[in-house]
Amino acid sequence: MAGSKFGLLSLPIEVLLDTLAILDFISLLRCRKASRFFKHLVDNTSSLQYIIELAASGQVDGPIDKSINVFSRLQALKKQQEAWHTGQWRQESDPDALNQGGLWELYGGVLAQVAHDQSITFHQLPSHVRGIEKRHWTIEPNTFEFTVRDFGIDPSQDLLVLIEPPSWSVVAADHLHRFHLRTMSTGERHPLAPQDAVFSHMQRDQDLMLSYSIQISGDYVGVLLHRFEVSDNELMIWDWKKGQAKVNILGDEVRSFQFLSDKHFIVCLTPMFEAVPTLAVFDIDSVSSERHTLDEIKSTFTLHYPGIRDEHMAFECQLRCDPAPSWRPSHDLKVPFSVDTENRIFIMSLWAHFQDTGMHCFISFIPRSTFERCLSAVQNKQHEADFQWQDWSPNGSRMIRSGFQHSMVWVTYVYGSRFVIGPDIDLDPDNSDDDDDDESLECGFLYDFNQLGLKRSLSKDPEAHSRSSESENGWTEYVIGEQEIEGGQLFSDAIRTSLPYRLRRFRIPQNLLRRPTVILCSEDNLIFLNVSIFI
């Protein structure tokens, strides 16, 4: 052992640093503890500190760019994390005014809107720290020869998915949904799409209240048709580059969906005759492209929620995760770092109607790692495919009770491991029926579920979890203990969950407090959106 150690230390310092640079952060931390020499080396070498900081921040390195050296990347990363942790925003920007009304989408750092004249305007949100410039561009009216009913975007692939609705005109009836694959940059046919760059799907019954949910993940485009007047909801997934239909699931119990990986997707279900919401995970390649009901296909595994009391009615459930787990920013941006694909929190929101007090919302936070652990257990035959609540949730999630104001429309409240929610929402599960104090009505709440970052913060200050730290713009609290939602509220039995998180309470600018404002979240920005312009 001594001879081996002496041989390692006798290496030229450049060779030693190159060797250490190929290690992961856990191995680097172990080396740091081996001796004073290694501790000094790791602590004073920017490239090694950068590896550790990336892991602790839930980030990955960006593309090679000689104009940004490792030291500059390290400093930028520290500034970004400090801004999120303290609420000290680098700059405030009043983006170009959005048009009155119209459709909107926020994804991958781009805010887009389809106006009433069918023009589409894109706003790339700036980041001083990561070197992303603010810019906007517009696809002019009359670019498309059809009416745009809804749309989705993926800036990393320059992909714009436009939905053309069916026509129920007596003169020119056309009962097809058409999904057009265009570029965000020009509105023209996407070069990676099949020749016609259009998918189509027949709608059997007229439903003028039908709405869409669109998700894009790598090669896949998923669309959920939310039917209101007739028939069942319908989920479809295509491989948009190959032009192949992959999934078609029919069922009113299908409430929302998200991609889990390049191979799996999650469906949020509220069975009609069971008061037990579930999250069902499916293998994309194992589900037929032919239309099937849920009874006709088999999920890879299912996560069950507790039973709901008979006197309550589950109104809606919604699952969100942004960006898609496989998403990476475009190389054209040349960002020094970006959120790790593993650093994702899924937000399961369950609305229920209480007979005496009306609508309430319960929010469940589930890290991607919880799904992956369950998947691994099923694949290794260590667990059955059905996971009851007590099997997966107490240590693998966190549930809170919020007010009914939690929006079902403005849903880009999550990015990576962060979740933001605005005022008039009570986030204290033990005190949700109390009147909000005046100060809480002027604050937003930022949750961060990055587990490595939490562990590092608590290792530096072990007492941080037992107190709140206050700064000029708000206060920060670490919540690592178990919390309970009493039985007899929505659920029959008490709900106990313990996934740690950091809660940042920040003050909202005074000029926004009197507007109907929602707070959206992206990788570098909090966006305060005046929703009255869409009403």
pLDDT tens, position by position, 338-368:
999 999 999 999 887 777 777 778 899 999 9
> Helix, strand, coil proportions of the chain in percent (round to 5)?
20, 35, 45
**How distant, in Å, are the alpha carbons of 48, 75, 159, 387, 407 from that of 41?**
9, 18, 45, 46, 50
Tokens of 416: 């990576």
Residue 379 CB burial class (10 angstroms; 0-12, 13-18, ≥19): exposed
Contact 507, 442 (CB under 8 A): yes
CATH fold of 2-86, please? Answer: Monooxygenase (1.20.1280)
Cα distances from 499 to residues 174, 304, 340, 454, in angstroms, run: 50, 17, 19, 11
Average pLDDT on 158-175 reads 86
10 exposed, middle or buried (CB, 10 Å; 0-12, 13-18, 19+)? exposed
Planar angle of CA 215, 411, 188, nearest 5 degrees: 40
**Whole-prediction pTM value?**
0.91
Q: What are the φ and ψ backbone dihedral angles of 221, each rounded to 5 degrees?
A: -120, 125
Q: State residue 427's pLDDT score.
A: 38
Tokens encoding 502? 């950091």
Comparison of pLDDT for 403 and 116, the residue scoring more? 116
Q: In this structure, what are the phi and psi dihedrals at residue 100, rounded to the nearest 5 degrees?
A: -65, 125
Q: Which of 417, 435, 408, 438 is nearest to 518 (CA)?
A: 408
Whether 360 and 401 have beta carbons less than 8 Å apart is answered as yes
pLDDT score of 435? 45
pLDDT computed for residue 86 by the predictor: 84
> Quick check: helix, strand or coil at residue 198?
strand
**Structural domain spans, the chain:** 2-86, 300-535
Give me the mean pLDDT over the 379-390 stretch.
96
Q: 339 or 404: which carries more pLDDT confidence?
A: 339
Element (DSSP H or E) covering residue 497: strand 495-497
Closest alpha carbon to 42 in 374, 118, 50, 482:
50
Q: What average pLDDT does this structure show over 424-431?
A: 42
Main-chain dihedrals φ then ψ at residue 13, nearest 5 degrees: -60, -35
Average pLDDT, the chain: 87
pLDDT at 406: 59
Give strand pairing partners of 223: 214, 236
Sign of torsion, CA 366 372 373 377?
positive
CA distance 202 to 149: 16
Which element (helix H / strand E) includes 377? helix 368-379
AA identity, residue 1: M
| Residue 45's pLDDT band (cuts 50, 70, 90) | very high
- pLDDT one-digit tens code per residue, 303-339: 999 987 766 665 678 999 999 998 999 999 999 999 9
Cα 48 to Cα 38: distance, rounded to the nearest angstrom: 11
Q: Taking a C-beta distance cutoff of 8 angstroms, is the pair 339, 326 a contact?
A: no
Residue with the larger pLDDT of the pair 362 and 501: 501
Q: CB neighbours of 259 closer than 8 A, spacing ≥ 6?
A: 215, 217, 220, 222, 265, 266, 321, 324, 325, 326
Cα–Cα distances in Å, from 62 out to 66, 70, 365, 521? 12, 11, 28, 21
The string of pLDDT tens digits covering residues 65-110 is 878 899 999 999 999 999 998 877 666 666 555 666 678 999 999 9
